[in-house]
Structure 1
Amino acid sequence: MRISTFPFLLWLLLLSLSIPALATHQVGGQIEMRYIGDVQGHYQITVTQYIEDGTRGAATQATSGMLGIFRKSDNRQMTTFVVTQTGSKQPVVYANEFCAAQRNLRFVVITYQATIQLAPGSYNDPQGYYISYQTRNRNAGINNISNPDQTGFTFYLEFPALQQNGLYFTNSSPHFGTINGEYVCIGDPFKFPFGGTDPDGDELRYSMVTPLNQKGTNQNAISAGPYPDVSWLSGFSASNAMPGSPTLSVNAKTGQLTVTATQLGLFVFAVKVEEYRGGVKIGEVRRDFQLLVVECPPQTTPEPTVQIMDRPKVTTTTICTGESTVLVATVNLDWNYQWRRDGTNIVGATNATLTVRDEGQYTLLVSQKAVCSKSGDSDTLTVKQISAKAKISTLGHLCATTGFAILTAVGDTGLAYQWYRDNQALPGQTTDTLFTTEPGRYFAALTQKTVGCKASSDTTSLERSAAVQALIKSASGQNRICPNDSLALNASGGEAYKWQKDGTKVGGNGSQYTTRTAGIFSVTATDSYGCDGTSPALTITQLAPLLVTLDSIPGVCGPDNPVYTLVGSPPGGEFAGVGVTGNQFSPKSADIGDHKLTYTVKAAPECAGTVATRVAVVAPIPTIKLIDSLTTYKGNTFTLDPVYTGNPNQFQWTPATYLDNPSLGNPSIMSIDNDITYMLEVKNSTGCAAKDTIHITVYNGVWIPDAFSPNGDGLNDVWDLPGIEAFPDAEVTIFNRWGEVIYSSAKGYPNPFDGTLNGASLPVGVYAYTLRTTASRPVRKGRLVLVR
């Protein structure tokens, strides 16, 4: 007799679901994502939620909720969808209902489902995607995290890209079976087969992690990660969520939980279930739990014995389809009975006998009535059924004209097989495996060699898929390559492609190939089943390059010029630019400037144009700003500085006498000796010209009158000095008889002496003066008579 010392608390599974719960005592749950298998991207989402029975949450739990899907690489929200309740609430079964009632450990399970269609092409990010849901309010009695009643949940599930390397990637998340309601006795070893199964046969790895808190404070908010952790109280962590010797841990391969608790209380923890295929992680499910550790009274542990009725020494039996067997146990009126099938409590199976019609491993858990104590576990009785595992698995596929399939009838040992196609027995096909290249409806007739039971496997239909219709189209819609360009060819009809050019393999396995040269192209498309189809050949030609010219465009002087016709080659192109209308250029419309004109010709309408360029110059007419005349003194050297517009770049002064360079725009006159008249002619690069002249008067010196009469009669009222205008730097100073300065001119004597000082008339008399004309000439001195 095997005695069980592993009573358990109902673990509280808290996973990524989007059920808008109202209760403060949600127990948890799980979310599963199952590939339906009919259409790529078609999935069934199942959310299982556990809540305390009789609470506001159980009574008012919503019948639907919303989940969100996000991209891992950048947390972008991809979509949201609604799940709805699939049935009524079901109780979680306890082996000792008395203990469950005493400690208010009554829970119910609610299931929600949705069928969603995801576009594989939109879910191709190599980092994958995740489903998350956030809600609030854990149990206020939790003993290992801070502020539990103000701490929320983030439920989380990851799944891989649905399209990888151009092919559809098939996957379903791990599946977790029904839980048993249990409690943990302090000081006793505890273990629980918590692992799940993977529908695709992928490897599952388990590890302890810190539970996730809610991001923000809004109830049932949908938002992207990352998500915060819960706050552990001092001494607690992911690896020490429940005090124990040893502490709570999970087997990395099987998912079995173990602990020998050393402290009473309610403890939250989390387990991460990672999904691996070929050594590469492809998915993940995070699950929160909580365990209640209680004091179990030191009662005598029941020791139940079980047997198959009328077969006391046999622990394994086989029944035929539709038949049953009875399992019996020791009868004790002081015991509670709870039968289990494959480790899960059977609803209503609380008697000392159990009638069994289903295959499985059966055990009995017994406990004392009216006492919350340890439970005793029986040995295992195994019941096999001939049809329980009579399922056909299929490997391979039948393409339109090729392909094969291998059918395997997965059954128990000791079976004889006979395969049928379309209800006709296949001669010689009497093993558990059938190789076929023909479509039809297949099943296997099974006979149990020892008992003689007969059954049939399930039926599977093999059909040939439609022929792969591979096709090539050019991205431009034309089967020609533009000059100096490339052409993208797009393939359709499959998920992977093999390209050929002129009978030789080219490119990769993508749906697009780009060519720069002509040739005959074909593509072989492969669909998701591995079936092939080859496209019709597509001939691609190459257009010859164009030599495009635009005749030279003469420059014009000023905008007031007639329009002229533009000439380009080859014909049929398009002229463009400022001032262009059709094939005409208007200087007046364009106005002054250097205008870029183009002539564009396309080898074909879809091609980029070949462009010839010219510059049309509407040049400004130059202008010269030059004084008509000037006066200077004999032997002077100075520079002529005309002001120009219109961008002249050619200059010619005539005559060249006294000039250092008659071809400069601002030449210097060197040591001028006599009066002279110069003519200046200028041109710009377009040939636009302008002319001007200047006369230069040359004085030998200044004539100084010896008297003047400032009496207001209009004659000799100021002391004029003829010729002084030739000396722009001249300065005049006049003194009275005491040598005091009564007048001092600015340079050039701009305001002649008028016989006053500070506005008052000076007395008649003789005044001394000095005249400085240039720095190189001596100062002239003399006397001036002022008369009235």
Structure 2
Amino acid sequence: MPYRSRLPHSFLIGFLLFITGWLGVAGTANATHIVGGEMELVHNSGDSYTLLLNLYFDAYNGSPSALDADLTASIFDKATNDRMMNVLLPLTSNTFVSYTNPACAKPTLSTRRLVYSKVISLPPGTYNGPQGYYAAVERCCRNNSISNIVDPGAAAQTFYLEFPAVVRRGQPFYDSTPRIFPPLADYACRNELFYYDFGGKDADQDSLVYELVTPLNGHSSTVQPKPAAASPGPYSPITWQLPAPALPGQPALPPLGTLNQIPGTPTLQINRFTGRLTVRPSNLGLFVFGVSCSEYRKGEKIGESRRDFQLMVLNCPTNTKPSMVLLPAATGNVPYRPGRDILHLVPGGNHCVRLRFTDPDPNSRLSLSLSPVNFSGLLPAFTTATSGGVRSPGQPDTLTATLCFPECIDTQGKVFLLDVVVGDDGCSLPKRDTVRVAFTSVPPPNSPPTLTTTAGPALPLHVRVGDLVTFNLTGTDPDNDPIQLEMSGKGFSPASLGATLTQASAGNQQLGRFSWRVDCRAVGPDSLLVFQFAAATSPCAKRQTTMISVPIVVRYSNTPPVLTASPLFPLPAGPGLLPVVRLPLGSTFTATLAGVDADRDGLTMTATSENFSLTEAGMSFTAQNGVGVAAGQFRWDVSCDAVALRRPLDVTFQLVDATCRPVAQRQTVRFEIIRPDSPELKLYNIITPNGDQVNDEFRLPGLPLNFCDEQFASVRIFSRWGQLLFESHDRGFRWPGEGSASMYYYFVTYTDGRSFKGWLEVKP
């Protein structure tokens, strides 16, 4: 029986089923017990790929010590055969391959699947050759019991894979090689049809084409069975064995070759597009054969995978295929005649047929299956058991089953073909009987659903922000199909606006309730919102809908709020200027602000400054916000703290209404501190201390007055030689001179860094 295990890899070279007991061939000293293998290149991302080799090992005859811990793969440029790199592939997995039918298992057939893999990089700057690349692993030798090649114990094998460049026409070209050839560990029976699905899968949805090829031998040998690296191609093929001489009076046997690798009637064949392998072998033995799989993308070949495979042919007990008849209800016990009869399935008619199936062999277990030939989609279903035993103690000779076609199948006037298959559990592969059923089917008629709503009758609906909009919808289907109500918006999502549609079933109707509390999310440049509702049914998986629209106009208007102050702020001195409130130190300013909104929107009043906090300047503001009205109290206690800020004292009073498109009323006022007037600055440079009470002392009454942190610090008077003669920290100082005529210099400083200096002449 063929294995059902999937072999997810792109290339398989050699699958050896070495069974010494069945062939009666003694001695395996020269065999490596390698059953076969395959290579695959998987694209991960970017320049990263995984290179894999699956190797199959004869676990019954092979010694565990013969397992390789690693194998070396070599990559070559296909155009030049230049070596690109060698890749050491470590063993990463070791598992057993399962039988297709455990009941057909032979104790001498046991196969391990060994996986060797490594992540590699294929940079586009290096792997851009237009003819692509190939990877190879060489290993010797084959099992010496192979029947159709010369000196099999000394024949080597080459695991081989071709793949394209990773860049084409300046663009990245990613490809994962196909995963082909499921692992096979079953055997064929002489003079019985052997079949197996070698069809592969391709992750990139490339097209795959299969053909028979002669297996590769390569360069490894019994002297060097495991080369350190593969040699570049080309790789020599194996040599086919000459056919045995014909018996007297019999025609000469045809020579073995690519198209006659396993003798039989028919000889080994493979379907070019499906990969299905068939052979009715005529000779006993172990036979090697080769298959290639070419990969095409957009009609261009981009890669190729080769595999040589081995199949054991044994003498098997006779297995007669089962038989089956199909009995349509319209014909009673008259069997259906494949190729002549057509089942016509109509609404209200019988859609079921009866099956009778049996097997002449004792102790057979039969199973039913379906395979559509020229259609896809809905399939009939068995309403009774699809398997059972016959011709064994307690079991009947014949089994029955019922197959029913869904009413929804619609052949659209064409004739659909369906294979109904019964298979036994015979070894090595099941025998089958197939009844190909031709049928037409017309689904039952169907009417679309209806949909009504209580919205209206006057449309569009007119609403304002804050309104609650509700209405009902009713969906009805004349065929009583299940209905689903759906809601959408023309150019918007109703859910994003907070609209909901709840629904429930009532008899053959689907009732819906639309609810929407209109809020600011509905206010936009286009005030017309079209809500769309659908009643949907899916009879026979074909969607039918009926739609209605409910337009809703959202009305929105807003009157700006009004901000006033008492006392009124002064008018600005000119265009672009701010109103200014000027106060002296120690004074207090208070203002009451009021806000009113004609729309009764919520109001918020604030007072802020961009370059200082109100408290830093001795200011405070409290607000009483509300719906339609708001009030605020501003106070400024004028002190030196405000002077110390040394920046404009600009305060912005703002009133904002809480609505969908808020409008703010603002008034910015500049507050200034009045400085005391200083006398005119007069600097004296002559005194005459002669006692006449006129200009007898040096003093500076015209110096700037003290103001906050701008305080008089000191005055110092120096002789012409720089000697300090007088110093005072009193702004009202008096210096009578030194009693003799001379020239002097003075220096006055303030705490804010200002200074004044000059010279003074004393005359008697």
TM-score category by the smaller chain?
0.3 to 0.5
In the superposition, the TM-score normalised over structure 2's length comes to 0.40
Larger Rg: 1
In the superposition, the TM-score normalised over structure 1's length comes to 0.39
